[in-house]
Chain A
Amino acid sequence: MEAYSHVLFTSPLQRLFRYALICGFLLLVFAGLAYIEATPQRIIAGLGRLFVLIPVMLPPSPGDFLWTYLYAILQTIAMALVATSIAGLIAVPLGFLASRSFHRCGACRFFLRRMMDFIRSVDTLIWALIFIAAVGLGPFAGILAMAFKDIAVLGKLFSEAIDGVNEQQVDSVRATGIGGAALVRYGYLPQVLPIMLSHTLYFLESNTRSATVLGAVGGGGIGFWLVDRIGVNDWQEVTFIICILILVVVAIDFLSAFIRGRVIGRTA
C-alpha cells in the first residue's frame, strides 16, 4: 500500500496541483517550440533535405586524403593526450589547495573555487578562440584551451575527492610525526590517487571528442577536415571521417575503462 500511497491517497487539491504543473510545463514546451519556429512545414522540408543527403553520404570513402585524415586523427588524439596529462598533473596540487580537509584558509579556497567555476562555465571552444588569438592557429592553442578548462574541472573533482578522504587514516599517518609532502604522499595519496586517475582517464575520452570540435575553429586535428569537407559538400569523406572518429573514440573508451578497472581493482 505504501508504494502506491502517492496514487491512492493524494488529496484532490494535490492532484489538481500536479495536473496544473504538468500542463504548465507542456505549455512552456510548446511556447518554446513556437519561439524557435519549429513549424511542421519547416520540419518536413528539412527532413526532405536530410533524406536526399543520406544516400549521397554513403558509401564512406576517404577520397584522395586517406593519409591526411589519418595524420589528423593522430593529431587529435595527441592533443587529447597532452592536454589531459598536463591538466591531470596541475590539477593535483590545485585540488589540494581547494579542499577543505587539507588546509584552513577559507578565503583562498573560496577564491580558487570561484575561479574554477568561472573557467568551467565557458565552453572550451570559446577558450580555444582566445588562445588562438594568443599563440596562433594550430593544435597547440587547442591543447592549451583543453588543458586550461580541464585543470578547472579536474581541480574541482580532485578537491571533492580529497574532501571525501578518511580523516582517521590521515590522522594515523600524521601521528607518526611526518608532515608536509610526506604526509601528502602517505596519508592522502593512497586514498585519492585511484579516484584522480579514474577521473583523468575518463577525461581522456571526453577530450578526444572535444579536440575534434576544436579543430573546427582552427585548433588542429580532424575537426578542421570535418568542417572543411562539409563546406565543399564532399559528403562521402565526411562519413568516412565520422567513422574513423567513432572507431577511435570507442577504442579510447575501451582502453580507458580497462586501465581504470586495473587501477581501481588493484587498490580495492
Chain B
Amino acid sequence: MSHSPAVLLVETLRRERSRRGARHMVLFGGTFAVVFGASLATGEVNPAKLVEGFPRLFSYIGRTIPSFDPLDLWNSFSEWFWRWNVWSVRLFDTLVIAFLATVFASAAGFAAAFLAARNLVPPLVSGTLRRVLEILRTIPELVFALIFVFAFGIGPFAGFLAVFVHTIGSLGKLLAETVENVDDREKEALAALGASWIMQVRFALVPQVLPNFVSYALLAFENNVRSASVLGFVGAGGIGQEIMTAIKQFQYTDVSALVVMIAAVVMLVDLISGRIRRYLVEG
C-alpha cells in the first residue's frame, strides 16, 4: 500500500520528533543518573549504615517514649512534662518572636512589595531591591541568629531580628510577585484621571492585593513559629535551647515531651491560621 507524499512527510517528521524526544529523555536520564550517583557518594549515603542505623533509631525513639502507669495516668503525664512551667515560658517566647517578626516583616514587606514590583518602578530600582530580598531570603535564619546574638546578646531579641530579617526576604519576594500579577486596568483608569503614583497605588492596587497579603502574612507566621523554635540552638531565645540541652544530655523523655509540645503548638497555630485564611477568602 503506498501512501501519499504528504502522509509520508508527516510520518517522517513525527518519527524524527519522537526520536529526538527519546534522545532528549535518554540524555537527561543519563545526566541525572550520573549526577545522582555522584551525589550519593558525596553525601556519604551508605545503605549499610542505614540498615545498622535503623535499630539504633528505633531504640533511640523507644527510649524517648516515657513509661506510662495505666493505673496512675495523671502522675505519668506530670512526670513526663515535669519541666512544663519553664518549657511553657520558652514556647511563649517562641510565639512572641514569631509574632513580632511576622508583624514587622509584613510592614516592611508591604513597602518592599510595591518598590520591588516591575510594573510599578523602574527596573533598576526593582532589580536591586529584588536582589537584596533574595540575599535576605537565602542566608539561613540560623546564620542571622548567630550574627545578631554576637551583636545584640543572647535572648529572644536576637531571634526576633533574625526571623524578621529573613522573613522580609521571603515575604517581600512573594508580595512583590503578587503585585506584579495584579490587574492593571484599575491603576490605568486612575492614571487617566490624573492621580499621582502614590494615589494610584493606594486606591487601585492596595485593595486588590490586600487579601493576598494578609494570607501570605499568616502563612509566614505559621512558618516562623517553626523556625523560631530552633533559634534557641544558638542562644537566640525560644524553646530551641531546651531541645538542644535535652538531646545533648540524653534526657530522652524530655526530647519526646518537647517535640510533642512543639508539634502541638505548631499544629494549633496552623489550624487557627488556616481558619482565618479561609474566612478571608470566603468572607
Tell me if A75 and B96 are in contact (CB < 8 A): no
Contacts of A36 in B (CB 8 A): 93, 96-97, 100, 155-157, 160, 237
Tell me if B60 and A220 are in contact (CB < 8 A): no
Query: Which single residue of chain B is at the shortest CB-CB distance from A221?
Result: B43
**How distant is the Cα of A3 from the Cα of B39 in the complex, in angstroms?**
56
Tell me if A135 and B50 are in contact (CB < 8 A): yes
Contacts of B267 in A (CB 8 A): 117-118, 121
Tell me if B230 and A140 are in contact (CB < 8 A): no
- Cβ of A190 under 8 Å from chain B: no
CB distance from A201 to the nearest CB of B (A): 12
**How distant is the Cα of A84 from the Cα of B227 in the complex, in angstroms?**
20
Main secondary structure of the interface of A (DSSP, over half): helix
Within 8 A of A (CB), among B18-62: 35-36, 38-46, 49-50, 53-54, 56-57, 60-61
CB distance from B248 to the nearest CB of A (A): 8
Contacts of A50 in B (CB 8 A): 147, 151
Tell me if B207 and A143 are in contact (CB < 8 A): no
- Cβ of B152 under 8 Å from chain A: yes
**How distant is the Cα of A241 from the Cα of B101 in the complex, in angstroms?**
26
Q: Pick the contact of A42 from B42, B153, B270 — CB < 8 Å?
A: B153
Main secondary structure of the interface of B (DSSP, over half): helix
Query: Which single residue of chain A is at the shortest CB-CB distance from B58?
Result: A134
**How distant is the Cα of A52 from the Cα of B245 in the complex, in angstroms?**
32
Contacts of B40 in A (CB 8 A): 78, 82
Query: Which single residue of chain B is at the shortest CB-CB distance from A242?
Result: B139
Contacts of A29 in B (CB 8 A): 100, 103
Q: Mark A209-240, 1 if CB is under 8 A from B, else 0.
A: 10011001100100100110010000000000
Q: Pick the contact of B270 from A121, A126, A144 — CB < 8 Å?
A: A121
Interface residues on B, range: 35 or more
Tell me if A46 and B151 are in contact (CB < 8 A): yes
Most buried by A among B44, B54, B270: B44
- Cβ of B209 under 8 Å from chain A: no
Interface residues on A, range: 35 or more
- Cβ of B110 under 8 Å from chain A: no
**How distant is the Cα of A74 from the Cα of B97 in the complex, in angstroms?**
33
**How distant is the Cα of A33 from the Cα of B103 in the complex, in angstroms?**
11
Q: Mark A16-50, 1 if CB is under 8 A from B, else 0.
A: 00000000000011001101111000110111011
- Cβ of A131 under 8 Å from chain B: yes
Tell me if B39 and A81 are in contact (CB < 8 A): yes
CB distance from A185 to the nearest CB of B (A): 17
Interface contact tally, CB-CB below 8 A: 163
- Cβ of A130 under 8 Å from chain B: yes
Tell me if B237 and A82 are in contact (CB < 8 A): no
Contacts of A46 in B (CB 8 A): 148, 151-153
- Cβ of B229 under 8 Å from chain A: yes
CB distance from A37 to the nearest CB of B (A): 6
Q: Pick the contact of B39 from A82, A126, A213, A249 — CB < 8 Å?
A: A82
- Cβ of B135 under 8 Å from chain A: yes
Contacts of B266 in A (CB 8 A): 121-122
Contacts A74-B42, A213-B142, A227-B146; is A38 near B263 (CB within 8 Å)? no
**How distant is the Cα of A47 from the Cα of B243 in the complex, in angstroms?**
30
**How distant is the Cα of A130 from the Cα of B59 in the complex, in angstroms?**
12
Tell me if B43 and A140 are in contact (CB < 8 A): yes
Tell me if A78 and B139 are in contact (CB < 8 A): no
- Cβ of A181 under 8 Å from chain B: no
Tell me if B53 and A3 are in contact (CB < 8 A): no
Tell me if A135 and B57 are in contact (CB < 8 A): yes
Within 8 A of A (CB), among B144-183: 146-148, 150-153, 155-157, 160
- Cβ of A77 under 8 Å from chain B: yes
Tell me if B134 and A250 are in contact (CB < 8 A): yes
Contacts A49-B151, A125-B230; is A220 near B100 (CB within 8 Å)? no
Query: Which single residue of chain A is at the shortest CB-CB distance from B50?
Result: A135
- Cβ of B87 under 8 Å from chain A: no
- Cβ of A246 under 8 Å from chain B: yes
Tell me if A122 and B45 are in contact (CB < 8 A): no
CB distance from A151 to the nearest CB of B (A): 15
Query: Which single residue of chain B is at the shortest CB-CB distance from A247?
Result: B138
- Cβ of B262 under 8 Å from chain A: yes
Tell me if B155 and A37 are in contact (CB < 8 A): yes
CB<8 Å pairs between A and B, sample of 24: A28-B99, A29-B100, A36-B96, A36-B97, A36-B100, A49-B150, A53-B150, A71-B42, A77-B39, A79-B39, A81-B35, A118-B267, A121-B266, A122-B259, A125-B230, A129-B243, A133-B247, A134-B53, A134-B60, A144-B50, A216-B143, A245-B139, A249-B134, A250-B134
Q: Which 4 A-B pairs have the closest CB atoms?
A: A78-B39, A46-B152, A134-B57, A135-B53
> Interface on B for A, CB 8 Å cutoff?
35-36, 38-46, 49-50, 53-54, 56-57, 60-61, 93, 96-97, 99-100, 103, 134-135, 138-143, 146-148, 150-153, 155-157, 160, 207, 226-227, 229-230, 233, 237, 243-244, 247, 255, 259, 262-263, 266-267, 270
